[in-house]
Structure formats: structure tokens, C-alpha cells
Amino acid sequence: MTDVPVHRYSCVIIGGGLTGLRAALEIADAGYDTAVISKVHPLRSHSVAAQGGINAALGNAKGGENDTWEAHAFDTIKGSDYLADQDAVALMCRDAPRAVIELEHMGTVFSRTQDGRIAQRPFGGAGFPRTCYAQDRTGHNILHTLYEQAVNRKIPVYEEFFVISLVHAGGRCVGCTALEIATGKVHGFVSGVVFLATGGFGRIYSRSTNALINTGDGASLALRAGAPLKDMEFVQFHPTSLYGTNILITEGARGEGGILLNSDGERFMDRYAPGSRELAPRDVVARAIQKEIDEGRGFNGGYVHLDLTFLGEDLIKKRLPGIRLITRDFTGVDPINKPIPVQPAQHYSMGGVGVSLDGRVTDVGGLYAAGECACVSVHGANRLGGNSLLETVVFGRHVAQTILKDLSGVQISSSDPVKDAVQQMERKLAAMLSRGEGEPLYRIMDELKVTMITHFGIFRREKTMIEGLKKVKELQDRFSGVIITHKGQVFNQALVQALELEGMLLLAEVVAQGALARKESRGSHARTDFPARDDNNFLTHTMARLKEGEIEILYEPVTLGMFEPKERQY
Ligand SMILES: Cc1cc2nc3c(=O)[nH]c(=O)nc-3n(C[C@H](O)[C@H](O)[C@H](O)COP(=O)(O)OP(=O)(O)OC[C@H]3O[C@@H](n4cnc5c(N)ncnc54)[C@H](O)[C@@H]3O)c2cc1C
């Protein structure tokens, strides 16, 4: 007990991606002491990998002059298959132009139109060219900008600190514990409020475009703390990832004019979405590609072609240089001369921690969440490309403003509950490390990922899902006998992975239970046994809670208002 390292802040932000950093700036500028905790250096957060761009109705591009925030809201709600909460969508789309201009003023190097304004490109499901971009490295540019701003304000960042538990006292969250990965020491953080900005959980799937760190830690922490997880069965599959490695090939490639061809040389999107073709929303295009592959019109091994060759060398070098490098380096194909082999891959977590419009986590006082780890919900059953970067900066700031309102009434707790939690975690980690024999970690991890892609992938049906859920439960049981072969304290990545896996197994079950219970098809949730959308029974959000060790599924109404649900046609 004597040398438990304990840190005290008004606000602790878990996550150094765009959401966490944008929130940190807001809180620091209001004069409160805040710290960011991140399991990797902030610049390695998955936000850095975002390629295609960020949406805002600026009206800068040719053909986009009449764009409005209302049109952006309509596209988002239609894209969501009417599951998004319309008040949240309105808040985001109305604030988008301000948020993008703010990024520009902070120093983001956006690509430009001829007359010097921020350039915008067409994206899937959007009625106007609305996606502002920095070549095909938009996330990289924005994340560096926000990180520079955080460094300028001297905001403390605990990097390579892995948060392992939230701490409660007096009915609210009063801090957290974190493993310092470099030393193996457990630290305590006492804080007035805790902000979750921990990103998505894509890595519960094999074939994912996500960074290896996207293991959904924040969502499993919140679930264990009593919060509901919302709409977790809605998992986005991006239509175009590089065949073999599943590195993302941005929708921007289709936005710039790229087309999809099957092994017969047919531009097959004509059959699936005659109006928008390659620029239909992601759920539609991913299903079309998968169907072509399943019905034997893909290439060997299961991919189709994304053809950019006719766009010309100049355009590819100017607007898609990253895509060209990735394709050349990982397949040996230069997209200037040859089509890119692509297949769908897990890409985004629409579901997440249930929060109010202002980011307060449902049922857990003192806890807030935003960004990909949360579900507010602006994406509903299917996210439009370019809306996630927007969500991070809009809600990072908005939820920080909620915190600023709430903080004035908050007394920071004594250190005792956090010190107790640190000791409890030390005992847990020691027990995990002391186990001498058991099953290797990677085997359970690999089986989980394959189970999820096989049983809860693009197309779903009851029989396969029941088998999948059984397998997930078997893996949960086997986890209790997992062995961590590396016993050291310094950079014990196996220990970190074991802690991640424990949470991933829980999230996988929530996805599975939610998917089984939702007997309809909506957005990314496509059931072959229930192919139609069912607004009478399922125009509702799934709310999953942990009750005495079991997942309980309840439903809550969707907030409508601006647009009546209609059949989606593209
Ligand atoms: C390849 C790719 C390309 C994309 N392109 C686009 C695009 O062009 N446009 C768009 O709108 N969206 C895009 N997206 C989606 C978008 O990038 C993400 O949804 C968004 O950046 C998520 O930001 P975030 O701040 O919520 O989380 P992240 O950027 O994922 O950050 C999460 C943070 O949480 C920290 N963390 C997690 N768990 C713990 C823990 N236990 N302890 C401590 N720290 C923890 C991590 O270290 C990290 O700092 C893309 C996604 C991918 C995968």
C-alpha cells in the first residue's frame, strides 16, 4: 500500500485519438486540470489511419453549391436505415461546418480547390460532394493537428498506460486504474469525472481494417460498471479492403471515380444500386461484393476488382497517393496500370456505450463517453463514410462542454477507493501471471475472430448465429484457463493482450445476443431468414446490460423528428 502511485485530476480522459484530444483541449482551455491516458502513443491511435475525409456541408465543390446541413442530416438518417437518433444527427450536421473550419484554423492541411477553399469529394450515400479531405491521409493530418495543440497546452499524457478498471464510490465513477506497460506497475487515477474515448472493437473479427489496438476496452469497462451497450449488433463491413491483408482502400477511391468489376468484367453495381452504383452506402456495396463472390463471380480466393486505371496517373498521384503506395507495397500492383484486388472487411463499430445526447453514460454517474466507443446514436444501423471523423470532433467538444457544466458541482473523491482498486488489480494480474499451465492466449483469440466473421459476418441467420454464440461461450469458459507464458514486468504485451481478450469475449457475446434477438434486416444487420426491415417491432435501439453475469437485452425507442422512416433506395 505504501508506494501506490496515485494521480489526481478534475477530469481523466481515456483515449488519445481524435475524440479524447478534442475533449482535452476544451477542458484545458476552461482552466481545469485534465490528463489523457492512452495505451499507445496518441499518434498511434486508430484515428491516424483515417483516409478518405470528414463531412461538412460547406458547399465548396462543383455540384455541391446547394448543400445544406439539413441535406447532410437526411443522408445520414437514410443511410442509418432510420435507426439513428435524429436529434443527435441534427446536432452533428449543424455543427459540422464550424468544426471543420476550426480544424483548418488549428492547422490541418486540407487539400484545396483551385480557388483555395477546402476541397470536397463525393462519398457513398451522400447527395452532394461533401467530404473534406487531406489527400487520402485525412486522419493523419487532423490527429497531428490536435496532438500539437495538446502539446502546446502542456496537457499531461500518460502514454502506454493501459486502463484496466473503473473505480466507483458513493454511486459514481471516481477514477480508474491503469497498468504502466513499460514497468508493470499499476497506477491509480482519482478524478472528478472520467471520459471514455477508447475507440471501436473491430478486432473481435478476423479480416478487419482496424488497428490491432481496437479491442473495445472502454465498452467492456463500461458494461462491467453497469452501463448499457447500445446497438452492438450493427457492425460495419467496408466494401473495399485490400485482398490478403485487409488494409483499407478508402471510399475516396470510388468517390474519385473508381469502379467495381467482377470476374466477368461486369460493372455489377448497376444491378444492385442503379442510381448510385459504387457510391451507394457501405452496407449496400459490401453485400453486393460478397454476393458476387459467393455466387462465383469473384476472382480466385474471393475478391473483386476496384479499377482506377482510367482516372489517370496525375489524379491518382495527387489525390490517392497513400492508396497507390499501400497497393504497390502489399500486392505489387500499381493502381495506375492495373485494378486493385478488394474484398469486404470489418471496419467500424456503430454500437457502443449508451449515452445521453450530451454524452452522460446511462446509469453511471461521473462517466462520459464519445467517439467510436459510444453510441449517441448518429450512425444507427449503418454509418456513412466521413461521418465518424466528424463525430469525434463534434462530440469530443460537445461532451467536454457537458463535463464543464457538471464539474462545478463535483467533489473529487478521497484516494482510498482508488488505492483499494489498485491493490485488487495487482492481485488479479499476479494471479494471471502465476498460472503455470493452461491454454495459450493466441488460440482463444484466433478462434474468437474466426467465429465472429463466420457466424456474425455480412450475412446472418439464426442457425449459424446460435452455433456462433455457443462457441463464444465456450471460449469464455476456456479463458479462465489461459496461460501467459511471458512472466516479466517490462512491456509484457502478452499480459495486455490477455486483458484485452477478456473484454473482447464479453463484447462478442453482446454482439451475438443482439444479432440473434433482432429478427429483421436493417443497415449492416442483414439476416437471410428475416430479409425485410420491420419497423413495427424493431425501430428500436438494443440496450444490452450485464445482470448477474448474464447479458440482458432490452429495447428503447429511436428518437425520430425530422424525417419519417421510408424504404431506402439508391
Ligand atoms: C483504416 C480506417 C480508415 C478510416 N477512415 C475514415 C475516414 O476517412 N473518415 C471517417 O469519418 N472515418 C474513418 N474511419 C473511422 C474513424 O477513423 C474512427 O472511427 C475514429 O477515428 C475513432 O476515433 P476515436 O477518437 O473514437 O478513437 P481512436 O482513434 O480509435 O482512439 C482510441 C484511443 O483509446 C485508447 N485506448 C483504448 N483502450 C484503452 C485502454 N484500455 N487504456 C488506455 N487507452 C485506451 C487508444 O490508445 C487510443 O488512443 C476510418 C477507420 C479506419 C479503421
What is the CA(16)–ligand 1 centre distance, in A? Answer: 9
Gap between the terminal Cα atoms of the chain: 62
- The answer, yes or no, to whether any atom of ligand 1 lies below 6 A from the CB of 14, is yes
Looking at the fold, whether 327 and 218 belong to one and the same domain comes out as: no
The pLDDT confidence band at residue 409, using thresholds 50, 70 and 90, is confident
Q: How many residues in total does the chain contain?
A: 570
pTM exceeds 0.95: yes
The pLDDT confidence band at residue 3, using thresholds 50, 70 and 90, is confident
What is the CA(338)–ligand 1 centre distance, in A? Answer: 31
Query: Residue 114 falls within a domain, yes or no?
Result: no
Q: Say if residue 266's pLDDT is above 60.
A: yes
Whole-number Å distance between alpha carbons of 479 and 257 = 47
Looking at the fold, whether 317 and 209 belong to one and the same domain comes out as: no
Angle 458-463-468 from CA coordinates, rounded to 5°: 65
Pocket probe mutation, ligand 1, options 22, 133, 388, 506, max atoms within 8 Å of Cβ: 388
Read off the amino acid at residue 5: P
Mean predicted confidence (pLDDT) in 442-468 = 98
Looking at the fold, whether 326 and 454 belong to one and the same domain comes out as: no
Predicted local distance difference test score (pLDDT) of residue 2: 53
- The answer, yes or no, to whether any atom of ligand 1 lies below 6 A from the CB of 199, is yes
Q: Say if residue 296's pLDDT is above 60.
A: yes
Looking at the fold, whether 184 and 284 belong to one and the same domain comes out as: no
Query: Residue 424 falls within a domain, yes or no?
Result: yes
Looking at the fold, whether 225 and 293 belong to one and the same domain comes out as: no
What is the CA(54)–ligand 1 centre distance, in A? Answer: 14
Atom of ligand 1 nearest to the CA of 18: 25
pLDDT tens profile 217-263:
999 999 999 999 999 999 999 999 999 999 999 999 999 999 999 99
Predicted local distance difference test score (pLDDT) of residue 210: 97
- The answer, yes or no, to whether any atom of ligand 1 lies below 6 A from the CB of 497, is no
Predicted local distance difference test score (pLDDT) of residue 503: 98
Pocket probe mutation, ligand 1, options 43, 44, 46, 500, max atoms within 8 Å of Cβ: 46
Whole-number Å distance between alpha carbons of 37 and 16 = 7
The closest of 357, 291, 398, 327 to 22, measured between CA atoms, is: 398
In this structure, the strands spanning 172-180 and 235-242 are unpaired
Compute the chain's Rg from CA coordinates: 23
Between 86-106 and 69-79, two packed helices, what is the crossing angle to 10 degrees? 120
CATH number at residue 496: 3.50.50.60
Atom of ligand 1 nearest to the CA of 252: 8
Atom of ligand 1 nearest to the CA of 51: 8
Pocket probe mutation, ligand 1, options 18, 40, 44, 47, max atoms within 8 Å of Cβ: 47
Looking at the fold, whether 504 and 487 belong to one and the same domain comes out as: yes
Whole-number Å distance between alpha carbons of 457 and 524 = 9
Nearest CA to ligand 1 atom 8: 52
What is the CA(337)–ligand 1 centre distance, in A? Answer: 32
**Long-range contacts of the stretch 86-91 (C-beta < 8 A, 24+):** 86/559, 86/560, 86/561, 86/562, 86/563, 87/357, 87/559, 87/561, 88/357, 88/376, 88/377, 88/378, 88/559, 89/378, 89/562, 90/561, 90/562, 91/357, 91/394, 91/398
The closest of 448, 510, 436 to 476, measured between CA atoms, is: 448
Looking at the fold, whether 252 and 218 belong to one and the same domain comes out as: no
Predicted local distance difference test score (pLDDT) of residue 420: 96
Query: Residue 354 falls within a domain, yes or no?
Result: yes
Predicted local distance difference test score (pLDDT) of residue 342: 97
91 DSSP assignment: H
Whole-number Å distance between alpha carbons of 150 and 38 = 14
Mean predicted confidence (pLDDT) in 149-176 = 97
Predicted local distance difference test score (pLDDT) of residue 301: 79
The pLDDT confidence band at residue 126, using thresholds 50, 70 and 90, is very high
Contact 217, 498 (CB under 8 A): no
Task: Judge whether 282 counts as a catalytic residue.
Answer: yes
Of 344, 363, 397, which marks where a domain is finished?
A: 344
Report in angstroms the alpha-carbon separations of 76 from 17, 281, 295, 541.
23, 10, 31, 17
- The answer, yes or no, to whether any atom of ligand 1 lies below 6 A from the CB of 55, is no
Contact 177, 164 (CB under 8 A): yes
Looking at the fold, whether 309 and 399 belong to one and the same domain comes out as: no
- The answer, yes or no, to whether any atom of ligand 1 lies below 6 A from the CB of 99, is no
Atom of ligand 1 nearest to the CA of 372: 26
Q: Say if residue 30's pLDDT is above 60.
A: yes
Round the average pLDDT of the chain to a whole number and report it: 97
Report in angstroms the alpha-carbon separations of 265 from 222, 238, 291, 327, 469.
48, 22, 16, 20, 39
Mean predicted confidence (pLDDT) in 194-220 = 98
Query: Residue 32 falls within a domain, yes or no?
Result: yes
Domain count, the chain: 2
- By percentage, how much of the chain surpasses pLDDT 70? 100
Q: Say if residue 116's pLDDT is above 60.
A: yes
Helices (H) and strands (E) in the chain, counts: 16, 23
Looking at the fold, whether 435 and 533 belong to one and the same domain comes out as: yes
- The answer, yes or no, to whether any atom of ligand 1 lies below 6 A from the CB of 241, is no
Looking at the fold, whether 284 and 158 belong to one and the same domain comes out as: no
Of 310, 344, 378, which marks where a domain is finished?
A: 344
Query: Residue 62 falls within a domain, yes or no?
Result: no
Contact 146, 18 (CB under 8 A): yes
Query: Residue 276 falls within a domain, yes or no?
Result: yes
Of 317, 344, 371, which marks where a domain is finished?
A: 344
Whole-number Å distance between alpha carbons of 301 and 369 = 40
What is the CA(429)–ligand 1 centre distance, in A? Answer: 27
Torsion angle of C-alpha atoms 29, 30, 34, 39, degrees rounded to 10: -50
β-partners of residue 238 are: 345
Domain range spanning residue 431? 1-53+137-234+350-556
Mean predicted confidence (pLDDT) in 46-51 = 97
What is the CA(361)–ligand 1 centre distance, in A? Answer: 19
- Chain-centroid distance of CA 315 in Å reads 30
SS3 177: strand
Query: Residue 92 falls within a domain, yes or no?
Result: no
What is the CA(58)–ligand 1 centre distance, in A? Answer: 24
- The answer, yes or no, to whether any atom of ligand 1 lies below 6 A from the CB of 44, is no
Query: Residue 132 falls within a domain, yes or no?
Result: no
Contact 191, 8 (CB under 8 A): yes
- The answer, yes or no, to whether any atom of ligand 1 lies below 6 A from the CB of 221, is no
Looking at the fold, whether 432 and 501 belong to one and the same domain comes out as: yes
CATH number at residue 336: 3.90.700.10
pLDDT tens profile 549-565:
999 999 999 999 999 99
Looking at the fold, whether 336 and 369 belong to one and the same domain comes out as: no
Out of 282, 319, 383, 527, the active site residue is: 282
Contact 364, 194 (CB under 8 A): no
